[in-house]
């Protein structure tokens, strides 16, 4: 008697045309993404295409949006790998309706619809709100540093850029002298001129450093004027830390990256990386309520802007009730913004001292600092503040470790902001999918 096995005959022809509905179980994430996309307003995507039907046909925007949402949800962001998985992966084939968009088509779709993809965040948040998953009573704010698609070795100081511009010009002049001799050189056809030369990138980086330096000078002059006006009006020194003497003359300090000029060196617990500072506000249930990207390392000054951004997103999602309590770590301390939020009836818990601080600094020994320390010593406030860790920090761990998002694939602040919001939108989409059986 022969052994009994299930046959694996790869030459067996299908007797009936296959149905994509038979390829995946009913509760698969791919079906959830398709159902969610059917509920989204994709007018911004369709409006970018011709309405007269002329030209080469494009892939259906709804299919492309679903493909990108699913790919980002499962941690796949490479356009080439997405193209390959549209051939090899059943779920990708179901979403793409057995089409395999070329990787360049996928990449161009992301560039063309960069803003619209980022704005999907608000619509997905609205879906979560309709499912009863959004609880904005207590929110937590935090940030994580994410690498840019650029190397830190491409950073240049103002002096280095100036030297490279002169060296580039000298080398160009020598090459043109050898090539043209006594002729001007403009006899060449115009199509041979390249508008994206290294010299132009260097000059743009030099101009950016100069603009930032002038903005820093203006900001410091305005701050000193405000302090002088306060002292003249009240006869007392303004509250807070006295300004440190700074020499604002000479060439601009700092560096700019020639690959991604918007990126900056970011300080992390494991050293410096070339990247961005990704901000997020989350409510209970770990639903992201607002997401943004900034270029500077410190989080100071982002407390009120991020809470205001969360309020706007909640209002657009049909949840007009703003946060009752805001939890953030010491990096978000900003006396003026804390007072402003308190005046709006919001409970704000932000420790004035970082974990590594050796006691309060001299300028942190009274007023709002002492009041916040006393408040955080109260059992109820201490218990509430401990919830910050369980609300916001797991989101970053899941995003960076489980979904593999540790580096932006786009360059430039606007592109990275859109990508971060897309990441946050797919995080919320995953939360809604996992909660679907419980909310059905």
pLDDT tens digits, residue range 392-419?
Answer: 999 999 999 999 899 998 989 999 999 9
The share of the chain scoring above pLDDT 90, in percent, equals 46
Q: State yes or no: pLDDT of 357 exceeds 60.
A: no
Report the length, in residues, of the chain.
440
Average pLDDT for residues 173-200, to the nearest whole number? 51
- pLDDT number for residue 178: 60
- pLDDT number for residue 226: 77
- pLDDT number for residue 195: 46
Higher pLDDT, 190 or 236: 236
Residues 293, 412 contacting (CB under 8 angstroms): no
Q: State yes or no: pLDDT of 219 exceeds 80.
A: no
Q: Strand 325-328 relative to strand 287-294: parallel, antiparallel, unpaired?
A: unpaired
Q: DSSP per residue over 313-334, as a string? A: HHHHTT-----SEEEE-GGG--
Q: State yes or no: pLDDT of 351 exceeds 50.
A: yes
- pLDDT number for residue 114: 92
pLDDT tens digits, residue range 224-275?
Answer: 777 777 777 787 777 666 666 665 565 555 677 878 888 888 988 888 889 9
Residues 260, 155 contacting (CB under 8 angstroms): no
- Between CA 140 and CA 233 the distance in angstroms is 38
- pLDDT number for residue 192: 36
pLDDT tens digits, residue range 49-67?
Answer: 877 777 788 888 999 999 9
- pLDDT number for residue 189: 43
C-alpha to C-alpha distances, 246 to 213, 223, 250, 253, 425, nearest whole angstrom: 13, 13, 12, 12, 43
Of 374, 219, 198, 376, the closest CA to residue 296 belongs to 219
Residue ranges of domains in the chain: 20-112, 130-150+275-439, 152-257
Token pair belonging to 82: 């997405």
Write b or e for each residue in 348-357: b if 16 or more Cβ atoms lie within 10 A of its Cβ, otherwise e.
Answer: bbbbbbeeee
- Burial (CB count within 10 angstroms: exposed 0-12, middle 13-18, buried 19+), residue 14: exposed
> What CATH class has 130-150+275-439?
alpha beta
The share of the chain scoring above pLDDT 70, in percent, equals 75
Token pair belonging to 371: 């009041």
Higher pLDDT, 164 or 30: 30
C-alpha to C-alpha distances, 62 to 58, 65, 422, nearest whole angstrom: 11, 5, 15
What is the number of helices (H) and of strands (E) in the chain?
14, 8
Residue 293 Ramachandran class (φ > 0 left, ψ -120 to 50 alpha, else beta)? beta
Beta strand segments in 246-322, E = 255-257, 264-268, 271-284, 287-294
Average pLDDT for residues 1-6, to the nearest whole number? 59
pLDDT tens digits, residue range 122-132?
Answer: 999 999 999 99
- Between CA 316 and CA 289 the distance in angstroms is 11
List of residues 6+ apart from 104 with CB closer than 8 A: 79
For residue 291, the cross-strand partners are: 280
Average pLDDT for residues 426-436, to the nearest whole number? 92
Mean pLDDT score of the chain: 82
């Amino acid at each position: 008697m022969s052994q009994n096995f299930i046959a694996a005959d790869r030459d067996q022809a299908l007797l009936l045309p296959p149905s994509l509905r038979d390829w995946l179980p009913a509760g698969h994430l791919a079906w959830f993404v398709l159902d969610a996309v059917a509920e989204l307003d994709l007018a911004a995507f369709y409006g970018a295409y011709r309405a007269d039907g002329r030209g080469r046909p494009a892939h259906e925007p709804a299919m492309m949006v679903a493909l990108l949402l699913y790919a980002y949800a499962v941690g796949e962001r490479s356009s080439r790998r997405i193209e390959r998985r549209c051939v090899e992966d059943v779920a990708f084939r179901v979403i793409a309706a057995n089409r395999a968009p070329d990787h360049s088509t996928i990449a161009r779709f992301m560039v063309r619809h960069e803003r619209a993809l980022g704005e999907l965040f608000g619509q997905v948040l609205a879906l979560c709100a309709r499912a009863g998953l959004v609880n904005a009573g207590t929110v937590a704010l935090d940030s994580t540093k994410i690498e840019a698609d650029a190397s830190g070795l491409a950073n240049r100081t103002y002096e280095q850029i100036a030297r490279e511009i002169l060296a580039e010009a000298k080398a160009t002049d020598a090459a043109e002298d050898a090539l043209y001799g006594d002729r001007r050189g403009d006899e060449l056809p115009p199509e041979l001129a390249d508008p994206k030369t290294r010299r132009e990138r260097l000059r743009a980086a030099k101009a950016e450093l100069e603009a930032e330096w002038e903005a820093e000078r203006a900001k410091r002059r305005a701050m000193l004027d405000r302090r002088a006006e306060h002292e003249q009006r009240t006869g007392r020194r303004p509250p807070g830390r006295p300004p440190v003497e700074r020499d604002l003359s000479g060439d601009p300090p700092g560096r700019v990256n020639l690959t991604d000029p918007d990126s900056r060196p970011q300080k992390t617990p494991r050293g410096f990386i070339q990247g961005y500072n990704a901000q997020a506000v989350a409510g209970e249930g770990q639903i992201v309520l607002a997401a943004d990207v900034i270029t500077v390392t410190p989080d100071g000054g982002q407390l009120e802007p991020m809470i205001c951004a969360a309020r706007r997103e909640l209002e657009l999602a049909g949840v007009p009730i703003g946060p009752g309590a805001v939890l953030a770590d010491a990096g978000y301390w900003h006396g003026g913004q804390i007072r402003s939020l308190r005046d709006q009836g919001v409970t704000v818990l932000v420790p004035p001292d970082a974990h590594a601080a050796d006691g309060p600094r001299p300028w942190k020994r009274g007023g709002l600092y002492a009041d916040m320390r006393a408040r955080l010593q109260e059992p109820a406030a201490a218990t509430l503040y401990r919830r910050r860790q369980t609300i916001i920090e797991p989101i970053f761990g899941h995003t960076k470790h489980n979904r593999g998002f540790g580096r932006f694939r786009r360059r430039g602040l606007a592109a990275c902001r859109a990508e971060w919001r897309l990441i946050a939108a797919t995080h919320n989409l995953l939360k809604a999918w996992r909660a679907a059986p419980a909310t059905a």
